[in-house]
Amino acid sequence: MNEFPYPPNRLPVLGDVLSLNPGKPVQSMTELADKLGPVYELRFGPMRMVIVNSAELADDVQSEALWEKEFGPPIRRLRKVVRTGLIAAETEDPQWGAAHRVLMPGFSREAMRGYHETMVQVVAELIRRWEHGGGPVDVAGEMSSMALEVIARAGFGHSFTRLDEPPAGNGLPVVKLMVDVLRYASRPVSVKLVDATIGRIALLRHRRNVSELQRIADNLIGDCPPVPAGSPNLLQRMRDTPDPDTGQRLSRTVVRDQVLTFLIAGHETSANTLTFALHALGDRPDIVERVRAEIDAVAGGDPATLTYDQVAKLQFLRRVVDEILRLWPVAGGYFRRPKQDTYLGEHRIGRGAWVYVNLLAVHRDKRAWGPDADRFEPDRFAPGATPRRTAGAYKPFGIGLRSCIGRQFAIHEVMLTLAHVLYAFDLEPDPKYRLSVDEFVTLKPAGLRMRMRPRNQLRERL
């Protein structure tokens, strides 16, 4: 059997446009997997994609000898914004290779140790802001501002705002700019059928947004101070460190592309993971108490004293983060293409075909994760707890050479933030809220508001 299953309501020429919600394509693909099985085909006009939804088949595409990275439509659109950016450029592009080599040491253990205190300072500002706020918090907006401020200060030596002073949340213009750029890149394939006038208006607005972001990045580069004694930040490293292979420094355009990549896509990794985590933890006070007990054991009850090395000792908190990334990975999936004609399971697939590994489905595959795969259960990541898990079953940051270069930065930031927030506040979710997830290249909870009740106030009343 070589023909892939496909949705029953396929249309001539248009293909499977009726089978996907254009605003939530990955979630629609996951729903289709329940009907069509672990692998199926989608067509949109001349474009054809094979969708992988099982851990077993995800294993098949891991081989770098037989498979390689493909860039889906959203990343191809982002390439027009960050042409040589680490997220968008072809692996064969020598400028991508140079930037990757220059930046890799910026995420070493020693470099990460240097970012720790900056992260602590930013999170402390967020805590002070929430302690004096009182009202419901726009979680996604606040997390976006915090994550943006972390990468700006730690990576570029710049501050957009103090988080304990207004404006914050969606009040930061740069946050709105980035969200709008991601939204435009995530347009559905069928957008070309929209009225041409509306399309032109959206394109002009997108170009203005990109120009403004480029201006911001250029200012960051121009304002970057000389490298002080000690380890340089990411921007100083890109500006002043020659490529170890060629001896050449990165051009200003390449540096700008990387700055924009970190601003647009890099901060989203941490912000969205934190937002999903706070949503999940709002319904699990038992897990919150275990995190607090671990902080008591490691830091003596004061997360502000956590050192870089102590954060790594918060093993249960790390399981919480891993489990959030399982249920809600950074991006909904990734594209691969075979280098030659081969097989995907029992189906023959041709060289160069587009294969989309749907991580929302793979990470919830009951054959790999057990019958409760949809449940938030951090102990799933305890040693030996999931013996059936294979290499392809868990890939929240992508695979191979093109996996997220800043994943350790993001994980440390998320763990540190959660340690501070969960120790300082009791989470009070809105009982009427039901999780809704937007898809802007990354996955983001929509409309999540939550009260943060300071625990010191509760103890004083008791």
Looking at domain 1-83+332-395, its CATH architecture is 2-Layer Sandwich (3.30)
- Single out the residue of 416, 322, 409 nearest to residue 105, CA to CA: 409
Tokens for 390, please give them.
């294979």
pLDDT of residue 178: 85
Query: Is the previous residue joined to 429 through a cis bond, with omega within 30 degrees of 0?
Result: no
What are the structural domain ranges in the chain? 1-83+332-395, 87-279+403-454
Q: What is the pLDDT of residue 460?
A: 44
48 three-class SS:
strand
Choose among 430, 429, 433, 413: nearest CA to 117: 413
Give the integer Cα–Cα distance in Å for 258 and 104. Answer: 13
Q: What is the pLDDT along the chain (462 residues), one digit of tens a residue?
A: 568 999 998 999 899 999 999 889 999 999 999 999 999 999 998 889 999 999 999 999 998 889 999 988 888 888 888 999 999 999 999 999 999 999 999 999 999 999 999 999 999 999 999 998 778 999 999 999 999 999 999 999 999 888 887 654 445 688 888 888 888 887 765 445 454 566 778 888 888 998 999 999 999 998 887 776 667 899 999 999 999 999 999 999 999 999 999 988 888 899 999 999 999 999 999 999 999 999 999 999 889 999 999 999 999 999 999 999 999 998 999 999 999 999 998 999 999 999 999 999 999 999 999 999 999 999 999 988 877 788 899 999 988 888 899 999 999 999 999 999 999 999 999 999 999 999 988 899 999 999 999 987 544 433
In this predicted structure, what is the pLDDT of residue 229? 64
For residues 361 and 395, what is the distance between their CA atoms, to the nearest angstrom?
12
Amino acid identity for residue 319 in this structure: R
What pLDDT does residue 197 have? 60
Residue 224 among known ligand-binding residues: no
Report in angstroms the alpha-carbon separations of 35 from 40, 158, 316, 365.
Answer: 10, 49, 36, 14
Residues 6+ apart with CB under 8 A from 228: none
Q: What is the pLDDT of residue 400?
A: 84
Report CA torsion sign: 337, 408, 152, 202. Answer: positive
Alpha carbons within 13 angstroms on the beta-carbon side of residue 266 total: 25
Query: Which pLDDT score, from 0 to 100, does residue 448 have?
Result: 96
Architecture of the domain spanning 87-279+403-454: Orthogonal Bundle (1.10)
Q: How far apart are CA 246 and CA 364, in angstroms?
A: 44
Give me the pLDDT at residue 347, please: 93
> For 229-266, where are the alpha helices, taking DSSP H only?
234-240, 252-261
Q: What span, in angstroms and rounded, lies between the C-alpha atoms of 223 and 159? A: 11
> Taking Cα atoms as reference points, which of 228, 216, 307, 297 lies closest to residue 262?
216
Q: What three-state secondary structure class fits 143?
A: helix
**Distance from the Cα of residue 160 to its chain's centroid:** 21
Measured between alpha carbons, how far is 101 from 94 in angstroms, rounded to an integer?
A: 11
Pairing label, strands 67-70, 347-349: unpaired
- DSSP for 398-421, please give it: -SGGGS-TTHHHHHHHHHHHHHHH
pTM over 0.75: yes
- Token pair, residue 309, equals 């090395």
Which two three-digit tokens encode residue 318?
A: 């790390």
pLDDT given for residue 190 in this prediction = 45
> What pLDDT, on the 0 to 100 scale, is given for residue 432?
93
Give the Å distances, CA to CA, from 127 to 84, 121, 157, 425, 452: 37, 10, 22, 9, 10
133 forms beta bridges with: none
